[in-house]
Amino acid sequence: MARFAGKTVVVTGSGRHKGLGQGILQRFADEGANCVVSDVVVNAETEEVAAELRRRGAQVATVACDVSDAAQCDALIAGAVAAFGGVDFIVNNAGIGFMMKPFLEVDPADWAKVIAVNLSGAFYCSQAAARDMVKRGQGGRIINIASQAAKSAFPHLPAYVSSKHGMIGLTRASAMELGVHGITVNAVCPNHVTTALGAEQNAYFSKLLGFHSVEAYLANMAAKNPMGRPGLPGDIAATCAWLASDDAIYITGEAINVSGGEEMH
């Protein structure tokens, strides 16, 4: 029997091809979970993500949600409940990481947007999902996609770094209160993962750091990693699936590096 048969997972920021959210959903679909695909809008790309999950045998619902709006987060969970009866797992994957500027040039509106999506959005979705989990009385798992930037600093990303550090605080604070309900809360901290968002960062930082090409920048990153490569969506998806499994029932409040050991460099 599939490990997550009869369970439902919601993954925010998952409506884009070749994105981290899609990779996470694919793993849960392969293990039998009902899947809720959610992004700011539900468009043709989102529907193709959903169609691919159905080809894997999953039951799928699509729900539009701007996670910076608490009411929309409530509606996302309500939509999942209407489709499948409840939420067992939520992966807070929606995020903004492309507003890259020197600290002295960051616009207050850009700062507010990054914090609203990356940190407040994770709070709103976690709270809405936890309310359903508590009501149903069957426990649940909340998984926050943080970043290597949740534990380290990077230039030209002050809002992003701050939001991801805050996500670890949110993880720990919510874990302390939700454990009594059988709900675990953990964060996953990837290094650079090869997605469309990663491509934007590659282009920016290869120029900032003086590399003659994006390929040279990526080769330098790989050389500094003990595993010899950047992260892949499947690396993160496997960790999320483990945290959702019974094997991780006693793990909560943790921020787990999934980085190939890059932070040891």
Res. 191 pLDDT band, cuts 50 70 90: confident
Is pLDDT of 166 > 90? yes
Specify whether the CB–CB gap between 38 and 11 falls below 8 A. Answer: yes
CA distance 211 to 38: 36
pLDDT at 41: 96
Specify burial of residue 222 (Cβ count, 10 A radius: 0-12, 13-18, 19+): middle
Per-residue burial over 135-149, b if 16 or more Cβ lie within 10 Å, else e, is eeeeebbbbbbbbbb
pTM: 0.94
| Active site (catalytic) residues | 160
Res. 48 pLDDT band, cuts 50 70 90: very high
SS3 264: helix
Placement of tokens 């039998």 in the chain: 32
Other Cβ atoms within 10 Å of 108 Cβ, number: 8
pLDDT at 198: 67
CA distance 125 to 131: 10
pLDDT at 177: 98
CA distance 78 to 64: 12
- Of 6, 28, 263, 29, residue with least CA distance to 154: 263
Helix-helix angle 121-136:158-178, to 10 degrees: 20
Q: Which of 11-20, 80-89, 197-206, 248-257 shows the lowest mean pLDDT across its residues?
A: 197-206
Specify burial of residue 209 (Cβ count, 10 A radius: 0-12, 13-18, 19+): exposed
Give percent of the chain with pLDDT exceeding 70.
97
What is 100-124 written as a DSSP string?
---GGG--HHHHHHHHIIIIIHHHH
Cα 66–187–189 angle (5° rounding)? 95
50-76 per-position pLDDT tens digit? 999 999 999 999 999 999 999 999 999
pLDDT at 196: 55
CA distance 174 to 26: 27
Q: Which of 69-73, 175-179, 222-226, 237-241 shows the lowest mean pLDDT across its residues?
A: 222-226
CA distance 185 to 179: 8
Res. 195 pLDDT band, cuts 50 70 90: low
pLDDT at 197: 57
Cα 255–242–142 angle (5° rounding)? 55
Whats the size of the chain, residue-wise?
A: 265
| Amino acid residing at 225 | N
Q: Which of 12-26, 44-58, 184-198 shows the lowest mean pLDDT across its residues?
A: 184-198
Other Cβ atoms within 10 Å of 165 Cβ, number: 18
pLDDT higher at 200 or 142: 142
Other Cβ atoms within 10 Å of 17 Cβ, number: 12
